[in-house]
Amino acid sequence: MNRTPPPFDPSDDRDPAVASEWRLQERALRDERAGAPMEADDPRLAQYRLLSRALRAPVMEPIPYGFAEQVARRAQTAAQGNDRLERWLQQGLLAALVATGLAVAALGSAQWLPAFASAAGLLPDGSLSWGLVVAACCIVTWGWDGAMRSVGRGQASARAA
């Protein structure tokens, strides 16, 4: 049961605050149409005048066709550029970490290599060489996978396609 309310009657004294606001809005509309100077003594009247002025202003131009697609494309390009830089920095840091680890291992091998060789006596024959083969396979596999991802032929690009 939707009923439309009766039109507002500013002379109705049931709610004086609403009637006062109504009169203030109507005065602002009249003053704005007449081009009267703005008075600093009533800030509410000034606000209503600004609102009336904004409502009389012409409507802004509509956004062009395909605007959302253009913005999405720009955002995606910007994100990929930032992501690319971050990936290069991460790879550089990882390479520096690996190089530092290898350098420390090579420089300190005089202390740990004899201990490792004596521990190798506890292991079955050939286990040390098989361990090195497994490590080399892992390094080659991960290196190849990283190289394919860097040129855009990795698993992530295959899933996106």
- Compute the distance between CA of residue 141 and CA of residue 72 in angstroms, rounded to an integer: 36
Q: How confident is the model at residue 96 (pLDDT cuts 50, 70, 90)?
A: very high
The pLDDT score that the predictor gives to residue 131 is 73
Q: Alpha-carbon dihedral of residues 87, 90, 91, 94, nearest 10 degrees?
A: -160
Contact in structure between 44 and 24 (CB atoms under 8 Å): yes
Tokens read off for 149: 């991802």
Is 153 a residue whose pLDDT tops 80?
A: no
pTM, whole model, 2 decimals? Answer: 0.33
The more confident residue out of 32 and 71 is 71
CA dihedral for 144, 146, 151, 154, sign (positive or negative): positive
Which of 62-66, 80-84, 109-113, 150-154 shows the lowest mean pLDDT across its residues? 80-84
